[in-house]
Amino acid sequence: IFVCKFIKMDTIKYNSVNSDPNACPKKGVLKQTNRVDLTSRPRLQILSSPVLRSGPVSVAKPSKHLFNSVFDGVAHPNKAALSLKAKPNLKQLWLPPGVSGRIYDSPKTLVAASQAPQASQTRGGGEGPAVKLKNLLSESVKRESKLVTGRLDNGMEYVILPNKLPPKRFEAHLEIHAGSVDEQPDEQGMAHLVEHVTFLGSRKRENLLGTGARANAYTDFHHTVFHVHAPLTGSVGENMIPRVLEALREVAFEPQFLEERIEKERKAVTAEAQMMNTIEYRVDCQLLQFLHAENNLSCRFPIGHMDQVQRWTREQLLKFWGKWYFPANATLYLVGDFERDAKDVVSWVNDCFGRIPAPRVGSPLPSATFSPSDMAASWISKRAEGGSKASSLFTSLMGGGANSGGAGAGGQNTAANAAEGNVATPPLKTKHSVRPPVEHLFGYGSLAPATAVPSQVPISVFRHPLLQQFMLTLFCKLPIQPMTRMGDLRVLLMLRIILSVFQFRINGRYVQADPPFQAISLDVSDSSREGCAVSTLTITAEPSGWAGAVRVAVEESRRVQQHGLTEGELSRYLQAILRDSSQLAGQADKIPSIDTLNFVMEGLSCGHVVMSHRDAHEALLKVAETVTLSDVNALCRSVMAFAAFYGQEEELVQEAAGNPAAFAGLGPTRCTSVVACLPAYVDNEGHSISQGAVSGRGANLNPASGHLDADTIDLEQIKSQMKQQEEQEAKAAPPGARTFDLPSEEIIKALRADGLTVTPPLDIELPSVLLSDKEVAELVLSRRPSFAPVRVGTRSMVHPSTCPNTGVVQRRLANGIYVNYRHTDNEPSGGLIRVLFNGGRLAEKVGAAADGFGAVAVGVRALSESGAVGRWSREQVEMFCVSNLVNCALDSDEENIVLDVHFVVDNGGMKSAFQFLHLFLDQPVWDDHAVTRAKAAFLTGQKLTQKSLERASVERVMSAMLGPDRCFRDPTPEELQALTLDGIKQRLSSLMHTGNMEVEVVGDFDPRQLEEYLLTYLGTVRPQPSPLPITSHPLKFRNPPRPERHQRWHLQDSDERACAYIGGRAPVRWGPINGLAGANHLGVINTSSITPSAIAASLERDAQPLGPLVGSVLPPVGEKAIMTNATRQAVTAARRAHPLFRSVILGLLAEIINSRLFTTVRDTLGLTYDVDFETTMFDRIRYSWFMVHVTSHPSQIEAALNASASVLRDVAAQPISRHELLRAKTTLLTRHDSDLKDNNYWIGLLSHLQNPLVPHKVLDCLRDLKAMYECATVEDVSLLYAQFDLRDDAIFTCVGTSGSKNPLEAATK
């Protein structure tokens, strides 16, 4: 930015940076006033500075950041003038304080005369506030000092960053800069298939299994990534870093490309495409298609064309690999706890990857007989003879430059020609300088049709019968602005404030009676995978309320754009963001390596400077002091323009030209695309309709939205959409429904909102506290809180000491609340509170009634919708929580009502959290409108479930198993209609009180302060004893006729998909060993007595209430190779009598079965891409079941189902090996050690430790968890496996298919 500072009447001091000899010198003082002529620079544009509010005129290139501004200086007596030929429509120009000016029309020139210096400016050449601000914002941000980057001689880049969490583990990600956008028209899906073949064909990658390492891979638009999470030390003490690097080298640069592997992965990719081909992904497909209509991002989805995938030969795959998989087109990321200097890590990287020669431009691509692994072995042999021969070998096989369609630049000369001396040696291949290699049309600047998106882009419409909601998405694409300077950080800070305020205002509109929308969200984010920044406004609503929803979104967007923020909003959110930043800085050493690596990879890809969290916080504090309301509101006018004034872009551009100071950044934004996703049919009143079965368990209320989740969208969907739409519209509407006919013109009219005027926002009173000191004192005086005795072993103590084995402290308040807490430094200055109420969905009454089925689920949702407590409104409570960094989430499951409260310990954060908790428990606010919204949310979720192949199939299995008992599924419309506010309130009040409540607290707090808050705020909650056990209706597994036990159904759709489920009863997680079939009280197994009838009797015993734990819990002891039979029996009996025995063994069994399912059904048979096994792990419910889920193509789903069932049954014929058990132990123990650094994991460990309804979970379980995994034997796992009855007449199955034709009907014919 050119900055003028007027020193005296005839002198201007200026600073500029320019290499042009005709431009201003870098520093200087002209003895006369300065004329700045822009006639020779017609592409430059006059802009005001968005950050220097007391500064002067600035000039910038439209497509560059404002800091890149220069212009020429020419002496002119007594005046400062700017030629304005480049801005013919300019009417006003902002001038520095104390300077007057006038625009002359002929020639178009601004002449500004200087006056005396202002009081705020410094005489004698010193710097005033404006210059100091300019200097601060132009400073480069500080790069992460521990970040090590470099490039090997062969061009491969590496990024290394030490990170302490999780300890003694690391992440290694190898990024190949080639993705789906690099594919040719006949290669669509090849990047993804090559990823599969190279990754799963690697022996060294496979040999990492069992070491505690986890590996995977994925393909995206712009890159392919192979990643490994591994321990620092292997099972025999070896250093794992070199071993992991060797595996990644083999994956990327030494693959086998065996025909057998290629055929397997064809099947896997096809199954993956079928699995992900849901309506949600089809919506994503449409959003991406219209968002990036001008480039290949709209038609090069990673999953590709399945017809092409089936045709490619090995030679074609090899050529693609040879074209893109070379060192200079790869970047290696290593983040973790290396326990050594980064130089050592660099040395390992160089030793492993540095020996891969760099290919040159123009080298031939691999032939069909080429073997990359043979090439590598040959190269190693040649290297021993002489390095040059090895290099030429690799070059001849790994070539393919720009002229043959590969990456990099250079001529057509070959290495052979160079060797003969005919021409110069071709240059080395390099990656594209721009990733992804696409061009965008951006939503800012000129309206010239050749260079930008035109004014008022059309509405693109996607209709589908499976859609239930109206969803409108407005996009604005902008260039990524690299975060390299303090000014960039300042803009990001202001942007975050704007987004937060907008969402807060939308939330305020939502709590009003009968809101016309279900959700309105605004997002602005950089996307390295798409090579641009995208602003997104998403509106979802019932079809009948679409116009009102659009009006609310436009109205609030226009309010922010025109009137900006209030002083109160700016102050509150600025302070909240700074507090959040401070906490993040304090947790800098507690962020997992995977999160750090993803942050670094994304940041570097976007061109940002990677900063440490502490440095970022210090920088944020500096720029926060410079943020003013006028600056933020200028950014509002630019950022919100695309959503506020659709179709009025030309007027905004003219306004910006006439008053550039009113806009910041790139100026007013505009829509680059608008996509409407509409249901094909609605009922006669315009509401969404439902078809098919009743709802399934759980409701996903989040609509498919955003443009970033298209990794596995099948491109065939795009080509079939128009035909599909015509076919669906040609069909008659379902009974009681009509076609939802919404013309684009109506949406345009709603978005334009001509004549809509908005008033400035009103500030909301922010409470500094929710309970005053006087109110707290009165509560303490009247209710006299105290601690009550806690049962510890055989004794009762009021203040038991900290458990030496677990670090857990247990308390009980006199009003009945149980408390378990543990101090951790996992999140410095952060903490988490969980409040648990016994009951959950199982405590709901059966049938339609005022307090009947659904009362708990709907009531919990209604309390969350209300958000008000005590005398404070939802808006006040939300703002209070935002300002104090308190985050609350209320939910219910089958067993519990759960309230989680995240808080910051410092600056009154923990006190604020406990004040909220007191009011929530003691003075909740019930709102009839909130109940109405909660009912509507469940009804919408139910309708979405009915159109979901997976959810509807699960519901059929649950219905067959449990029959009319639907406590694990959502209420019907009739049951929802019957619920009333009073009934819901009565039902929840019987559960949510002190006599039925346990509180867990984990965090970096002062224990003395925590106990003070426990007494003051929780101890003063009104006491209410609870009768135990909690009333609940009984469960009973059914024995239905075979057609109901094994079901097949079809969902009419244009796309073919299929899924299958296998379910059945399973042993519960808590219970004595003698409750299992074939085992006595000593844990001795009699396999001959494990019969179907014995298993059934065992499961019925499990269903009985669990009695108290008898006797003390002994720590488990592992079996040794040499011990007496008596000792071995005693050790086995003690281990199997441990309360954790069932939980631990069931976890190991699930891990082993999942490994076998993957190996057999997916890898060997190629019938699926996704298959998994799990058991329910309830704490109080005395019933449990298992479920296997598998997806495939309709033509293969029966085979996939049968193969999955065979894997389950074959465990009996092919007993579990010690190697399988060891691998499962390593995986689960590694996960446990890593999760111990997570407060959420600790909260789960503490839950129910004092719950009378979970009597077998005691502190000794936490003490012995790791030892139980280590001591488990193959015989233990076999014993639990034997409790599963897997006969046809004991399991339940359901196969769901979708497509235009029902395969069952075709089979019958």
Indicate which residues carry an active-site annotation: 195, 265
Question: What are the structure tokens assigned to 97, written together?
Answer: 């304080």
Q: Quote the radius of gyration of the chain (alpha carbons, Å).
A: 34
Torsions phi, psi for 719 (to 5 deg): -70, -25
Measured CA to CA, the distance from residue 922 to residue 610 in angstroms comes to 46
* 871, 935 contact by CB (below 8 A): no
Give the ranges where 92-189 is alpha helix by DSSP (H): 129-137
Half-sphere exposure of 20 (CA within 13 A, CB side): 13
DSSP state of 360: B
CA distance 41 to 60: 11
Quote the strand ranges of 141-213, DSSP E.
148-151, 157-162, 169-176
Q: Using an 8 Å Cβ cutoff, are 365 and 400 in contact?
A: yes
What distances in angstroms separate CA 1237 from CA 165, 1044, 1106, 1244, one per listed residue? 8, 46, 32, 13
* Helix/strand number for the chain, H first, E second: 41, 37
Dihedral of the alpha carbons of 713, 714, 715, 721, in degrees to the nearest 10: -90
Burial 746-767, CB ≥16 within 10 A → b, else e: ebeebbebeeeebeebeebeeb
Instruction: Characterize the bridge pairing of strands 80-83 and 108-113.
Output: antiparallel
Query: Beta-strand (E) ranges in 129-277?
Result: 148-151, 157-162, 169-176, 214-219, 224-231
772: left (phi over 0), alpha (psi -120 to 50) or beta: beta
Distance CA 180, CA 199 (A): 17
Using a 10 angstrom Cβ sphere, with 0-12 exposed, 13-18 middle and 19 or more buried, the burial of residue 79 is middle
Location of structure tokens 């669906």: 728
Tokens, residue 653:
């551009």
| CA–CA separation, 276 and 282 (whole Å) | 9
Do 770 and 922 meet the contact criterion of CB atoms below 8 Å apart? no
**How far is Cα 493 from Cα 625, in angstroms, rounded to an integer?**
11
Burial 205-236 (b: 16+ CB within 10 A, else e): beebebbbbebebbbbbbbbbbbbbbbbbbee
- Spatial distance between the Cα atoms of 802 and 793, rounded to a whole number of angstroms: 14
Q: Which residues of 791-826 are buried (b: 16+ CB within 10 A; e: fewer)?
A: eeeeeeeeebeebeebebbbbbbbbbbbbbbbbbeb
Residue with tokens 């064309």: 305
In Å, how far are 317, 395, 431, 932 from 426, measured between CA atoms?
A: 25, 11, 15, 71
Q: Please confirm whether the linkage preceding 166 is cis (ω < 30° from 0).
A: yes
Give the Cα separation of 981 and 1155 in Å (integer). 48
Residue 362 backbone zone (phi > 0: left; psi -120 to 50: alpha; other: beta): left
Write the CA distances from 333 to 226, 228, 252, 352, 1300, integer angstroms. 10, 11, 14, 14, 46
Structure letter (DSSP) for residue 140: B
User: For the chain, what's the residue count?
Assistant: 1309
